[in-house]
């Protein structure tokens, strides 16, 4: 039958962590090399990275000024990895990171150098979520937060930011993860005027997410008219 799935059309759900070095382009070339090497080492030292890599359940994609990690293990693996990496760099003034996390469908493919790469909304959305953040932010999609909030340990760390309109009119509800010295408790600069508050409520405590009329672009967020 024509509507039957082909063997190579299997749906894969990846739990993606996208990491970006803030203000990377402003650094001198030797400084860029240094911070990338430092980030790579911190990522490789992460327990979640090592466990997933050893199990063959991880795809890592260098992005030049950061890295994308696609976990095919548990939904909280990229979140735990983000926390581990944040702890590792928290005493480094030169290495400022922002992170975005999303779970979604992906297709595995090979790049021009025959290395593993990914395409699909899973990785695209993680990058767009990351682009909404400032230094220190660990931003999650609501899809990820809804999985985490089922466990008590995560509930106090999840704080709603509201609904953002991303590229091509795609809407996503953002959640900010922070606790103690990990993460950034401030509302991202790009969202602050629209949200109209300096701090955000815990995930699940608001009756209705606020809608933010902004579109994520490479240079920031552009306001849209409703």
- Looking at residue 226, its pLDDT comes to 36
The residue length of the chain stands at: 226
Q: What is the pLDDT of residues 109-130, one digit of tens each?
A: 777 666 777 888 889 999 999 9
- CATH number of the domain at 11-223, out of 3.40.50.620, 3.30.420.10, 3.30.70.1230, 3.40.190.10? 3.30.70.1230
Tokens for 21, please give them: 């070095």
- Looking at residue 209, its pLDDT comes to 42
Helix (H) or strand (E) holding 119: strand 116-119
- Looking at residue 133, its pLDDT comes to 95
Q: What is the pLDDT of residues 171-203, one digit of tens each?
A: 889 999 999 889 999 999 878 755 554 445 565
Q: For residue 68, what are the CA distances in angstroms to 16, 51, 192, 206, 223?
A: 7, 16, 26, 31, 27
Could you tell me which residues come within 8 angstroms of residue 119 by beta carbon, excluding any fewer than 6 positions away?
Answer: 106, 107, 109
d(CA 28, CA 101): 29
Residue segments in the chain with a per-residue pLDDT below the cut of 50: 1-7, 197-199, 207-226
Q: Where are the alpha helices (DSSP H) in the chain?
A: 29-44, 47-54, 77-89, 121-131, 142-148, 152-155, 189-195
- Looking at residue 112, its pLDDT comes to 67
């Amino acid at each position: 039958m024509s509507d039957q799935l082909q063997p190579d059309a299997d749906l894969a759900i990846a739990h993606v962590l996208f990491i970006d070095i803030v203000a990377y382009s402003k650094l001198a070339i030797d400084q860029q090399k240094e911070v990338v090497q430092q980030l790579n080492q911190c990522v490789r030292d992460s327990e979640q990275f090592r466990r997933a890599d050893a199990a063959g359940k991880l795809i890592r994609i260098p992005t030049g000024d950061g890295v994308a990690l696609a976990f095919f293990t548990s939904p909280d693996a990229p979140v735990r990895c983000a926390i581990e990496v944040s702890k590792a760099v928290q005493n480094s003034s030169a290495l400022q990171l922002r992170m975005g996390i999303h779970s979604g469908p992906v297709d595995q493919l090979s790049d021009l150098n025959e290395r593993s790469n990914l395409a699909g909304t899973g990785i695209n959305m993680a990058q767009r979520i990351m682009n909404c953040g400032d230094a220190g932010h660990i931003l999650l999609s609501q899809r990820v937060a809804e999985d985490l909030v089922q466990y008590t340990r995560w509930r106090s760390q999840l704080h709603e930011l509201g609904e953002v309109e991303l590229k091509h009119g795609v809407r996503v509800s953002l959640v900010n993860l922070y606790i103690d010295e990990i993460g950034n408790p401030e509302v991202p600069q790009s969202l602050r005027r629209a949200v109209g508050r300096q701090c955000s409520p815990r995930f699940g405590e608001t009756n209705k997410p606020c809608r933010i009329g902004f579109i994520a672009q490479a240079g920031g967020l552009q306001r849209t008219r409703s």
